[in-house]
Amino acid sequence: MGEIPVRGSGEGEADMQAGDPATGVVIATLVLYKLVLIAIGVWASRLNRNESDFFLGGRGLGAWVAGLSYAASTSSAWVLLGFSGFVYVYGVSALWMVPGIWAGYVGVWLWFGPRLRAETAERNYVTVTDFMAASAGPSTRALIAILAGGLVLFTFVFYIAAQFGAAAVAFESQFALPHTESVLLGAVVILIYGLLGGFWAVSLTDTLQGAMMALIAVLLPAAGLVAAGGPVQMWATLSETMPSAYLDITGERGFVPFLAFAFGVAAIGLGTFGQPHLMARLMAVKDEKARRTGFTIAMSWAVLVYFGMALLALSGRALLGEIFDPEALFYEMANLLLPAVLAGVVIAAILSAVMSTVDSLLIAASAAAAHDLKLIRLFPRREVMISRVVMASICVFAVALTLSVDATIFDRVLFSWSALGAAFGPVIAARVMNAAPKGWAVLAAIVLGFATTVLFYTYGQIGAEAAGGGLSGMLARLAAIPGDPFERVVPWILPLVLVFSFRQPRPVEDRRS
Residue 6 confidence (pLDDT): 30
Residue type, 318: A
pLDDT value for 507: 47
Residues linked to residue 100 through DSSP beta bridges, in sequence order? none
For 368, the enclosing helix (H) or strand (E) is: none
Instruction: Please compute the mean of the pLDDT values over residues 340-363 and round it to a whole number.
Output: 73
> Concatenated DSSP letters for 105-133?
HHIIIIIIHHHHHHHHHHHT--SHHHHHG
| pLDDT on residue 17 | 47
pLDDT, position 153 = 85
Select the highest-mean-pLDDT range: 5-19, 215-229, 376-390, 408-422: 215-229
Dump pLDDT digits (tens) for 308-342. 999 999 999 999 988 878 888 888 888 888 876 67
What is the rounded average pLDDT of the residues 28-48? 74
Write the DSSP assignment of 157-226 as a string of letters.
HHHHHHHHHHHHHHHHHHH---HHHHHHHHHHHHHHHHHHHHHHHHHHHHHHHHHHHHHHHHHHHHHHHH
Dihedral pair phi/psi, residue 503, rounded to 5°: -120, 155
Identify any residues that bridge with 285 across adjacent strands, giving them in sequence order: 61
Residues 118-134 have pLDDT tens digits of: 998 899 898 899 999 98
Alpha carbon distance 176, 343 (integer Å)? 14
3-class state of residue 287 by DSSP: coil
Range in 14-18, 108-112, 285-289, 339-343 the model is least confident about: 14-18
| pLDDT, tens only, 91-101 | 999 999 999 99
Task: Measure the CA angle with vertex 453, ends 449 and 458; round to 5°.
Answer: 150
pLDDT band at 22 (very low <50, low <70, confident <90, very high): low
The candidate with the shortest Cα–Cα distance to 398, out of 444, 453, 361, is 361
Taking all residues of the chain, what is their mean pLDDT, rounded to a whole number? 82
SS3 464: helix
Cα–Cα distance for residue pair 148/136, rounded to 1 Å: 14
pLDDT of residue 10 exceeding 50: no
Most confident of 46-60, 124-138, 352-366: 124-138
User: What is the structure's pLDDT at 345?
Assistant: 72
Q: Which of 457, 471, 459 is nearest to 413 (CA)?
A: 457
| DSSP3 helix / strand / coil % (the chain, rounded to 5) | 80, 0, 20
414-442 per-position pLDDT tens digit: 677 888 999 999 999 999 998 889 999 99
Cβ-contact 193, 201 below 8 angstroms: yes
CA distance 165 to 406: 9
Measured distance CA(131)–CA(119) in Å, rounded:
8
Mean pLDDT, residues 36-57 taken together: 75
- Is the CA virtual torsion 329, 334, 340, 346 positive or negative? negative
Give residue 81's pLDDT: 82
CA–CA gap between residue 385 and residue 378 (Å, rounded):
12
Predicted TM-score (pTM) of this structure: 0.83
pLDDT grade for 390, boundaries at 50, 70 and 90: confident
User: Which carries the bigger pLDDT value, residue 419 or residue 18?
Assistant: 419
DSSP one-letter code for 505: S
Q: How far apart are CA 39 and CA 83, in angstroms?
A: 31
What is the spatial distance between Cα 342 and Cα 339, in angstroms, rounded to a whole number? 6
Confidence grade of residue 230 (pLDDT, cut at 50, 70, 90): very high
d(CA 296, CA 274): 21
What local confidence, expressed as pLDDT, does residue 425 receive?
94
Cβ neighbours, 10 Å, residue 371: 26
Which residues, in sequence order, are bridge partners of residue 61?
285
Helices (H), 338-480: 343-367, 383-404, 409-432, 439-462, 464-467, 470-479
Strand partners, 503: 437
Is 321 exposed, middle or buried (CB count within 10 Å of its CB: 0-12, 13-18, 19+)?
middle
Side-chain half-sphere exposure of 139, counting CA atoms within 13 A: 1
